Structure formats: C-alpha cells, structure tokens
Amino acid sequence: MALWWIPSAAFLHLDQGLIRTPLDPDITFSDDPLRMLRAVRFANQLGFTIDPVTFDAIKRNAKRLEIISAERIHTELNKIILTAKPSIGFILLRECGLLQKLFPELVELSGAEEEHGIGHKDNSYHTL
C-alpha cells in the first residue's frame, strides 16, 4: 500500500507500528516544529508508538512550537480531536510537554485532591 497520501510518510514504520524520524529528530523538529504534533496525531490515529528517541526529542523541542502559526496548530489539533480516542492524543501531548504550550489550563488540572481523607478524581484525566 503506497503512503504517498500521508504528508510525512517518513515518520511511519508500518511493520513495527513505530513513529520515528528518518533523520536526527532534533534537526527534523527544528526544521518544522509542527512535525511534533503530527507525530502525536499519527500515533493517535494509527495506534502506533512513538520511538523513545523521537519522543525525547519532542520533549526537548517543545518550546519550538511557539514559531508555528495558530492556524497550522489548529488544523493538527482538530485532526487529533477527530480520532476515535482523542484522549490518547491529549495524554501524549501532556507527556511530551506540548500540551503545556497549547493548553496550560488543562495541565494545571492535573493531580487528585484529597479532602477529609477522601480522594477525588484527577481533574485533567476526568476532563479528557
């Protein structure tokens, strides 16, 4: 099956269910930081895993997302929201540090409160 229709087909390693960059991920994400969101989206859409080296590079380069236009980010977020389980995409975004850049309020909801010895749900997880 040809993957010419997937804009960043180089990310995909179909036989392994793995997303990794073909070149050094720091260079790849520095060249176009939107690729970090795309990696998360592809992992979410396809049920793939992001290669640990690639995932660590996303964490290191999260701040680079600031140079991407809101419209391009909006498009990728919409595609994540339209997946079968968008919560998985948002959990990946949180784990790699991109959610803090996009929705810091969601990150601030993290953690369970305890009142009078009774634990409450993690508001971030509950929101997702």
Q: How confident is the model at residue 113 (pLDDT cuts 50, 70, 90)?
A: low
pLDDT by residue (tens digit) across 29-83? 999 999 999 999 999 999 999 999 999 999 999 999 999 999 999 999 999 999 9
Q: What is the predicted pLDDT for the residue at 13? A: 63
Over residues 18-24, mean pLDDT: 92
What DSSP state is assigned to residue 115?
A: E
Mean pLDDT comparison of 14-28, 44-58, 103-117, highest-scoring range = 44-58
pLDDT by residue (tens digit) across 69-102? 999 999 999 999 999 999 999 999 999 999 999 9
Quick one: 103 exposed, middle or buried, by C-beta within 10 A (0-12, 13-18, 19+)? Answer: middle
Residue-level length of the chain: 128
Q: How confident is the model at residue 28 (pLDDT cuts 50, 70, 90)?
A: very high
9-105 belongs to which CATH class? mainly alpha
**83 vs 9, residue with greater confidence:** 83
Q: What does R_g of the chain's alpha carbons equal in angstroms?
A: 16
**Distance from C-alpha of 116 to C-alpha of 124, rounded to nearest angstrom:** 21
